[in-house]
């Protein structure tokens, strides 16, 4: 497989790289004739090097199951993958719920959720959280008032949208209640807390830290769970989906859905690599599962437009 990295949204729009002649595996006909390469994008949850390593086995399996070549695309921010998906430079991507909603709006409904990961007990969802160092004096939100609490990226649900909306509803606007710089990503936020750059940071996790940034960092040896403490937890949010363009052929969509859903039966480690954590497998999802988050995305977009320059 080939891995390419997008440095920004503009680069995503310029992508048009195909494999050299003779490198596409034998195809089984049907949609494979029109789509000899499937391009799969991922948002920056891990470092690019570790993401590439964890995806290698999945891409090989996907190529065997679908009979076409697969390429992995990464970006340094959410907009890179989102813009590539909107522009048709990739066919599907693993996104946060919020970045899916933004992509759905910006593409005039041109994308839809395909699958999302279940928790090991079969439940779905995750939470935005504020983490602080375990040995810090901060025990409550009130302790953090006026302190440096980082958000991640304006296109992150758990790292930006949900905290911004939730704290506005509490009458504690994030950028007034805290000093709230942007870290650039979830690992950067937590590492900033560990290093003392931030007093706290927003990130995401799920039940028992099965899926999410905390699990990914623990798996990479970047974090020991006892190093941090959670002092705020949001309401449950819909699980991050694998999103697909609506203009792909129905038979291609069905084949890719089957690939993800049956992944746990082939190799649970691969399923967990795709899910970025512990899971009982991927299951089909639909736009209706994200309607509340998409409405929050609309509300946040309107709030930004009304905010004085």
305 domain residue, yes or no: no
Residues 37 and 102 both lie in one domain: yes
User: 118 and 147: one domain?
Assistant: no
End-to-end CA distance of the chain: 46
Q: Among 220, 237, 254, give the residue marking a domain's end.
A: 237
If asked whether residues 18 and 146 sit together in one domain, one would say no
Do 183 and 218 share a structural domain?
yes
Residue 307, in any domain of the structure:
no
Residues 105, 297: Cα–Cα separation, whole Å: 9
Tens of pLDDT along 232-283? 999 888 999 999 999 999 999 999 999 999 999 999 988 988 888 899 999 9
- In the chain, the number of structural domains is 2
Last residue of a domain, which of 190, 215, 237?
237
Nearest Cα to 131, choosing from 152, 114, 112, 161? 152
Which of 188, 219, 237 is a domain's end point?
A: 237
Q: Are residues 53 and 158 in the same domain?
A: no
Instruction: Let me know if residue 245 belongs to a domain.
Output: yes
Do 11 and 116 lie in a common domain?
Answer: yes
Same-domain check for residues 95 and 35: yes
Asked if 184 contacts 140 with a C-beta cutoff of 8 angstroms, the reply is no
- Residue 70: give the domain boundaries: 2-122+239-299
Query: Is 20 in the same domain as 97?
Result: yes
For the chain, the average pLDDT equals 86
Neighbour-count burial for 20-34, b at 16+ CB within 10 Å, e otherwise? eeeebeeeeeebbee
Report pLDDT digits (tens) over 106-152: 999 999 999 999 999 999 999 999 999 999 999 999 999 999 999 99
Whether residue 98 is found in the same domain as residue 246: yes
Question: Do 16 and 161 lie in a common domain?
Answer: no
pLDDT-derived band of residue 74, with 50, 70 and 90 as boundaries? confident
In the prediction, which pLDDT does 42 show?
A: 86
Shared domain check, 140 and 85: no
214 falls within a domain = yes
Which CATH number characterizes residue 75's domain? 3.40.190.10
Query: In this structure, are 6 and 114 located in the same domain?
Result: yes
Q: Is 282 exposed, middle or buried (0-12, 13-18, 19+ CB in 10 A)?
A: buried
91 against 14, higher pLDDT: 91
What are the structure tokens assigned to 88, written together? 């048709």
Higher pLDDT, 158 or 23: 158
């Amino acid at each position: 497989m080939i891995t390419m990295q997008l440095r920004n949204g503009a680069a995503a729009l310029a992508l048009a790289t195909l494999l050299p002649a003779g490198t596409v595996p034998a195809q089984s006909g049907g949609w494979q004739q029109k789509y000899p390469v499937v391009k799969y994008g991922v948002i920056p949850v891990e470092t690019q090097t570790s993401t590439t390593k964890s995806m290698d086995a999945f891409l090989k399996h996907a190529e065997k199951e679908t009979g076409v070549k697969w390429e992995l695309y990464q970006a340094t921010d959410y907009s890179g993958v989102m813009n590539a998906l909107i522009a048709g430079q990739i066919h599907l991507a693993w996104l946060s719920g919020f970045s899916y909603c933004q992509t759905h709006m910006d593409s005039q409904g041109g994308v839809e959720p395909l699958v999302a990961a279940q928790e090991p007990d079969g439940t779905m969802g995750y939470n935005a959280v504020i983490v602080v160092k375990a040995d810090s004096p901060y025990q409550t939100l009130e302790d953090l008032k006026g302190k440096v609490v980082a958000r991640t990226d304006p296109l992150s649900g758990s790292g930006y949208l949900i905290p911004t909306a939730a704290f506005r509803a509490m009458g504690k606007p994030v950028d007034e209640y805290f000093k709230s710089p942007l870290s650039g990503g979830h690992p950067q936020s937590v590492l900033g807390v560990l290093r003392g750059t931030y007093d706290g940071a927003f990130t995401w996790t799920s039940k028992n830290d099965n899926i999410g940034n905390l699990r990914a960092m623990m798996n990479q040896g970047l974090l020991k769970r006892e190093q941090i403490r959670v002092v705020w937890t949001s309401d449950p949010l819909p699980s991050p989906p694998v999103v697909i363009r609506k203009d792909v052929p129905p038979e291609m969509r069905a084949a890719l859905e089957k690939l993800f859903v049956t992944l746990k039966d082939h190799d649970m480690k691969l399923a967990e690599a795709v899910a970025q954590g512990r899971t009982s497998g991927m299951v089909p999802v639909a736009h209706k599962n994200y309607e509340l988050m998409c409405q929050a995305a609309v509300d946040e977009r309107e709030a930004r437009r009304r905010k004085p320059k």
